[in-house]
Structure 1
Amino acid sequence: MTFVFINHNVLDNLFYILVSILMFFVLFDNVKKFKNHKNLLLTVSMSLPIVLCMKFPIYIDQYCVHDLRQIPLFIGTLYGGWAAGAALLIISLSTRFAIYGFNSLTLVVYLVLYLATALFSIKFNRMNKKSKLMTSALLIFVLELLTTEIALKMSDYFKVTEAYIFYFIMIPPVAMFFLVYLIEVLMDTIHIRSNIVKIEKMDVVSQLAASISHEVRNPLTVVKGFIELLKTPDLSQNDKERYIQYALKELRTAESIISDYLAFAKPAIEKVEPILIDKEIKNLIEVIKPFANMNAVKVTNQLASGMVLVNTNYFRQCILNLMKNAIEAMENGGELKVLSLTDKNHAIIKISDNGIGMSKEQINRYGEPYYSSKEKGTGLGSMVVLKTVQTMNGKLDIESVPSDGTTIMITLPLYNSDPVYVKEQNDSRVKLKTGYYI
């Protein structure tokens, strides 16, 4: 009963699959170009454990040598559909035949696995998490029994031992259950964070809309007053022209405020481009001024020119969030200072206020979701800021003294247009030496 203890080759196979799943989510979440090529990334990620499982198979005894390559084939086909599954099937069979030679039993077994899984994939992707967990484990269990029966009928050399039942009929459904659970949790996490960013952006936009509507109302009130004056009987032509010029000037002011707001609120395009930080920050200061005026906050700036490579809309969202938070921290009014400077390799942006400040605990917990120093805050804004800075390959530092104010410093790499080259490395292959292998 040697199979009572988990064979280290089984753990190796499961490790390859787990690492490949994690690699998929790391690349999908952090590399923008993979967002629109999810199935391609899934195919590449699942092909790696398929190859590795065959190169380092599970040796039980001389009659029982197999691997767990069917698990990444199942995962890729269930989540990627027919196309991804077909690509993984071709990779699986090609690698198997290239390393160990052609085998008709292998061809039949894996065609059955692929076709059954691909047919089920459409229904699978419409299920909730609980149903996916149960049906994926049940499906692989049924298919393992079916392919075992096919192998017994097609080959006189294939034998079903206790070790085979334990490792290749009992373990795959359990492994599939936990791997699907991990995939679903990671997918939910990415989806939730994406929604948080959208919600936070809409929250900022709605607050700015309220403050800008207040700011626009002032020039419109002036315009209304001059229009009323134009109704005055016996008004001279010079006065009429003067009143009209005043009204037009106030309308241009209102138009400028609305234009700034719309420039910020337009949908983000997920691409990076070089921007001048002083120019962008000046525009953002104009956007935030109505909100600052409503809160009796004076905004001052001292901006040095510097170019950084960022997603423009994310950069705007980040800086605007920080300025908005700084204004809200000054409950009785104050001064918001915005400073930018550059050194040889970095651009530094400092946003300072003389508000309520932050304790050491608040600084340490900055960026945690659902933790906020504000009474009605969710902490999602600071989380979005921190994530955005990290995405821009930057660093965020906080200096704060309670009741004295806070300074947040963002350090970003200066734009460098030199290309980066990546060196590829080759891998080696290990041949199977003994045993019957499907």
Structure 2
Amino acid sequence: MTSTSHFLVNLVGILILLVIVQFWLNRLHQNQIVTEIVMGFSLSATVVLCMLYPFQINDGITFNLRFIPFVLGCLYSHKITSMWLTFLIICLRLMHGLEVSWFPCVSLLIFFLITTKLKPFYNNLPMVKKIIFSGVLMLFMSIWIIVGDKLLFHVPITIELFFSYSVFQSFGILLVVYIMESNKEKQSLLDKIIRMEKVEVVSHLAASISHEVRNPLTTTRGFLQLLNESKAIPEVEKSYLTVAMQELDQAERIIRDYLTFAKPAPEEIESLNLKKEIERTINIIVPLANMNIVELSSELESCYIKGNAGLFQQGLVNLLKNGIEAMPSGGTLSIVGTVEKTLAKVSITDNGVGMTDLQIKRLGEPYFSTKEIRGTGLGMMVAFRIIESMNGTIKVESEPGKGTRITLSFPLNTSG
């Protein structure tokens, strides 16, 4: 009875951990440091709970589910948190004496090194493969511990014990990772729906007022142009007219960006040579790069995709412009175009200021900009809309102070 209650304590501790971790990971405006502290505390409390309440399988042999929060910490939290968990488990294990604890402690260090080394590979896996990977990893850890106990301490390991120990650990991590990943997938879908709803509002707004606003702007600019050409107005006062026309041009550009959303898909679809289109866009952006002491480098592979040349150039210009502006002290902007199976991929990499995870999540939202008062957020919003209308996807990877990589993926046009 005691063993069963202790097992339930282990299980409840892990379930509470899941609830807390998911709550903090799904918050849109959470502070990364606070999130890591909460995760570290939750994982630590679960580890302590599991180790304080071990349960028996048979023949007086006990174990607990501490490896589940340990693996979760290594795969989902910061390296410092996983190091702390390793240290905590070793300290608690050493309370049983060095003679019986040295092997579990050494094994834990090995598991820590293996798991953290495999973490980047794990993060790039799809959901199903993540679940399988975690189960195989836990099975390996279970076999390692059982074989070590058998060879080093002559623990009587039966088939039943081996099966029970492996199943408890492996099935536990499979279930936990499944819940984590399915919740993450649902949250990602919810974020996408929210972003699409915001874009839809902008789209309706653009369709309803853009033409009405554009007409008086055009008329006003025409009269200002005539006044600017008049000889009766002093040159000093003409400078005011020039500023006024520049501001009207800026307003017209913003409206043109809005109009991109009024059209869900480009009117003219054609086969585009990706290499040539990118080279044309680079030629457009070269003057801005020179002004900001930014070196442009490109390595492009020729292939064909479907889309509208004008819109594709507009979206690409916005992305390149953002990359240049992210390097106020100069740097290198790299554009690489490759073909991978059925996809054409374009990677735009800068070594600028970078972005936080929260900024990456909000990228492409209406009115959200990393440039603070200098940006409207419309440029990235336009780029996202254009890429999506071409059945493409955008992946953003960034780290503050180290730069950003934006990867565009498009289906290949094999008939091009």
Instruction: Compute the TM-score of the two structures, normalised by the length of structure 2.
Output: 0.50
- Paired letter, 1:49: T
Q: Indicate if the aligned counterparts of 1:28 and 1:35 stay in contact, CA closer than 8 A.
A: no
Match of 1:194 in 2: 191
Counterpart Cα distance in 1 of 2:77 and 2:130: 14
Q: Indicate if the aligned counterparts of 1:82 and 1:118 stay in contact, CA closer than 8 A.
A: yes
Aligned match of 1:11 in 8, 11, 18? 8
The answer to whether 1:112 aligns with 2:110 is yes
How has the CA–CA distance of structure 1 residues 126 and 40 changed in structure 2, closer, same or farther, with 3 Å as cutoff?
farther
Aligned match of 1:143 in 141, 165, 179? 141
Cα deviation digits, residues 33-55 of structure 1 (max 9, x gap):
43466555443332221111011
1:229 positional shift: 9.5
1:258 positional shift: 7.3
1:184 positional shift: 0.8
How has the CA–CA distance of structure 1 residues 213 and 63 changed in structure 2, closer, same or farther, with 3 Å as cutoff?
same
**Which structure 1 segments of 5+ residues have no match?**
265-313, 319-438
How has the CA–CA distance of structure 1 residues 8 and 196 changed in structure 2, closer, same or farther, with 3 Å as cutoff?
same
Cα deviation digits, residues 243-301 of structure 1 (max 9, x gap):
x9xx9999799689779989x9xxxxxxxxxxxxxxxxxxxxxxxxxxxxxxxxxxxxx
Question: SS at 2:56's partner residue?
Answer: strand
Q: Indicate if the aligned counterparts of 2:24 and 2:35 stay in contact, CA closer than 8 A.
A: no
Aligned match of 2:178 in 176, 181, 203? 181
Aligned match of 2:219 in 213, 218, 221? 221
Counterpart Cα distance in 1 of 2:222 and 2:87: 74
How has the CA–CA distance of structure 1 residues 122 and 259 changed in structure 2, closer, same or farther, with 3 Å as cutoff?
closer
Cα deviation digits, residues 396-427 of structure 1 (max 9, x gap):
xxxxxxxxxxxxxxxxxxxxxxxxxxxxxxxx
Counterpart Cα distance in 2 of 1:236 and 1:34: 59
How has the CA–CA distance of structure 1 residues 54 and 171 changed in structure 2, closer, same or farther, with 3 Å as cutoff?
same
**Which structure 2 segments of 5+ residues have no match?**
259-361, 367-416
Counterpart Cα distance in 2 of 1:45 and 1:59: 25
How has the CA–CA distance of structure 1 residues 251 and 53 changed in structure 2, closer, same or farther, with 3 Å as cutoff?
same
Q: Indicate if the aligned counterparts of 1:27 and 1:34 stay in contact, CA closer than 8 A.
A: no
1:69 positional shift: 0.3
Aligned match of 2:161 in 154, 161, 164? 164
Q: Indicate if the aligned counterparts of 1:109 and 1:150 stay in contact, CA closer than 8 A.
A: no
1:196 positional shift: 3.0
Q: Indicate if the aligned counterparts of 1:219 and 1:253 stay in contact, CA closer than 8 A.
A: no
Question: SS at 2:164's partner residue?
Answer: helix
Which structure has the higher relative contact order (CA within 8 Å, separation 6+)?
1
- Paired letter, 2:151: K
**Equivalent runs, 1:162-311 vs 2, <5 Å:** 164-210=161-207, 211-212=209-210, 214-224=212-222
Q: Indicate if the aligned counterparts of 1:219 and 1:251 stay in contact, CA closer than 8 A.
A: no
Match of 2:66 in 1: 69
Q: Indicate if the aligned counterparts of 2:47 and 2:66 stay in contact, CA closer than 8 A.
A: yes
Counterpart Cα distance in 2 of 1:48 and 1:217: 64
Cα deviation digits, residues 305-335 of structure 1 (max 9, x gap):
xxxxxxxxx9xx99xxxxxxxxxxxxxxxxx
- Paired letter, 1:71: I
Runs of 4+ in 1 over 4 A off after TM superposition: 36-41, 225-231, 235-238, 247-262
How has the CA–CA distance of structure 1 residues 146 and 79 changed in structure 2, closer, same or farther, with 3 Å as cutoff?
same
How has the CA–CA distance of structure 1 residues 230 and 58 changed in structure 2, closer, same or farther, with 3 Å as cutoff?
closer
Question: SS at 1:160's partner residue?
Answer: coil
Cα deviation digits, residues 35-79 of structure 1 (max 9, x gap):
466555443332221111011211345621110101111121123
Counterpart Cα distance in 2 of 1:250 and 1:142: 70
Q: Indicate if the aligned counterparts of 1:137 and 1:173 stay in contact, CA closer than 8 A.
A: yes
How has the CA–CA distance of structure 1 residues 165 and 220 changed in structure 2, closer, same or farther, with 3 Å as cutoff?
same
Q: Give the superposed CA RMSD.
A: 4.4
Match of 2:86 in 1: 89
1:126 positional shift: 1.8
Instruction: Compute the TM-score of the two structures, normalised by the length of structure 1.
Output: 0.48
Question: SS at 2:77's partner residue?
Answer: helix
1:124 positional shift: 1.6
Q: Once the two structures are aligned, what percentage of the paired residues are identical?
A: 19
Alignment: residue pair count: 255
The answer to whether 1:43 aligns with 2:52 is no
Counterpart Cα distance in 1 of 2:243 and 2:108: 75
How has the CA–CA distance of structure 1 residues 143 and 74 changed in structure 2, closer, same or farther, with 3 Å as cutoff?
same
Q: Indicate if the aligned counterparts of 2:228 and 2:242 stay in contact, CA closer than 8 A.
A: no
Q: Indicate if the aligned counterparts of 2:22 and 2:183 stay in contact, CA closer than 8 A.
A: yes
How has the CA–CA distance of structure 1 residues 55 and 222 changed in structure 2, closer, same or farther, with 3 Å as cutoff?
same
Q: Indicate if the aligned counterparts of 1:141 and 1:169 stay in contact, CA closer than 8 A.
A: yes
